[in-house]
A and B are shown apart, each in its own frame.
Chain A
Amino acid sequence: MRFQDAAKDARAVVYAGIQADPLVARAAALLEEGTAAERLLARAAMNGERTDPETWRRVFPSLLGEGSDEGRRAHAEAVLAASLEVAERGEAARSQYRGAVVEELTARLLARRTGPDAPVRRERRVLFDGVRAEIHPYDVTVESATRPEVYDCKWGARGINADVLNQLDDARAHAADEEVGLRVAIVVFDARRSCELRLVRSTAEHGGTRLVALESLDELGEAKS
């Protein structure tokens, strides 16, 4: 089993431009340090109809209201500002920005517990002996020689589908054939309950695929994860 850079087609080149936008890095950095409630704020504001901050201050008084902790409130304000910038990118672009933010956030959290012997990489394919390569690269990989990991990142639970689950489980199974314990996971910037509702209807094999939902994103950066 080995990792390989994905081929760059025209769509990938355009998306790479979005991934490199400083707004993506700023939003991800804020969310990395954010609470679960601030991540919920980001999800709501990035997907909202209204982009005036006053509206969102009223929707989230525990984060942005007068009575909230001053330090946390400043951070929540920064999360809100970045989220509204994403929302203002326009209907077509913002879905790509949101996806890029989730990927960048995942990579940053994973990097908390990995070192030079397990680099965190983006847009990589996994090749197995005698197996036809998958078309779609994995959003984030941890390329450890002993405990490799692959992650698919989704903005919402609706992104959980049979194709994604099959690709992840196939990779896990092919790695097992080579006696490699490949850990596979799907990271979803959405409520765990919504993800579980999606998964329970899926006929695709996913028993060996870990779900990391919005409330538990910090687990990505914890040593035991």
Chain B
Amino acid sequence: MPWPRSGRYATGVNDRGEVTERAAEAYRALADLAETVEDEWQYVTDLVDAYLPSIRALAEADGGRAPTAAQIEAVDEAIAEIGLIADPHRAIDWLSTFPHVVGLALRGDVDRPAGDGPFGEPAATEPDEDSPFRILQGYR
């Protein structure tokens, strides 16, 4: 018997939440490695403070639509890639790259603070015309 539509939606929402949480955990682990470069501790901290909430906010991106299998696979492959990194200097490079790779896969914006709406709600789904997100997604 097929699942009711509401049941499929709930599963899709859970999939989005789960995959973004996996990405957030992997990002935190990458930051732990990067933090071993003492001279760059502040920059690493700034990157994590900026991007970690934005990665988590991807759970609400793209209208909360259930991610496709290809989208989930993309995020999991990106997680696998950063899991292979042993060099802390390369980890710093990926602290900047990984959020955008995940954002591109899940069609979400990691360029703005999470919950930056006037009442702390998730960022608007239609970013500014010149936002890096729109450019990256190919809107212009």
Contacts and interface: CB of A to CB of B under 8 A. Distances in A.
Contact of A215 (B73, B81, B136): B136
Contacts, number: 95
A61 B71 contact: yes
Contacts of A50: 81, 84
A59 B136 CA distance: 15
Interface string A12-54: 0000000000000000000000011100100110011110000
B105 A194 contact: no
B73 A40 contact: no
A142 interface: no
Nearest to B95: A194
B96 A194 contact: yes
B132 interface: yes
B111 A193 contact: yes
A113 to B, nearest CB: 19
Sorting the interface of chain A by its residue count into under 10, 10 to 19, 20 to 34 or 35 or more gives 20 to 34
Nearest to B84: A49
Sorting the interface of chain B by its residue count into under 10, 10 to 19, 20 to 34 or 35 or more gives 35 or more
Contacts of A60: 74, 101, 104-105
Contact of A201 (B42, B71, B74): B42
A146 interface: no
Contacts of B94: 47
Contacts of B99: 191
Question: Is chain A's interface secondary structure helix, strand, loop, or mixed overall?
Answer: helix
A65 to B, nearest CB: 6
A140 interface: no
A225 interface: no
17 contacts: A36-B136, A36-B138, A40-B101, A50-B84, A55-B77, A58-B74, A60-B104, A62-B104, A62-B105, A156-B96, A191-B99, A191-B100, A192-B132, A193-B132, A194-B96, A198-B46, A213-B132
Given A48-B81, A61-B105, 16 more contacts: A36-B132, A36-B135, A37-B136, A44-B97, A49-B81, A49-B85, A50-B81, A60-B101, A61-B74, A62-B105, A191-B96, A191-B100, A194-B47, A197-B47, A198-B43, A213-B132
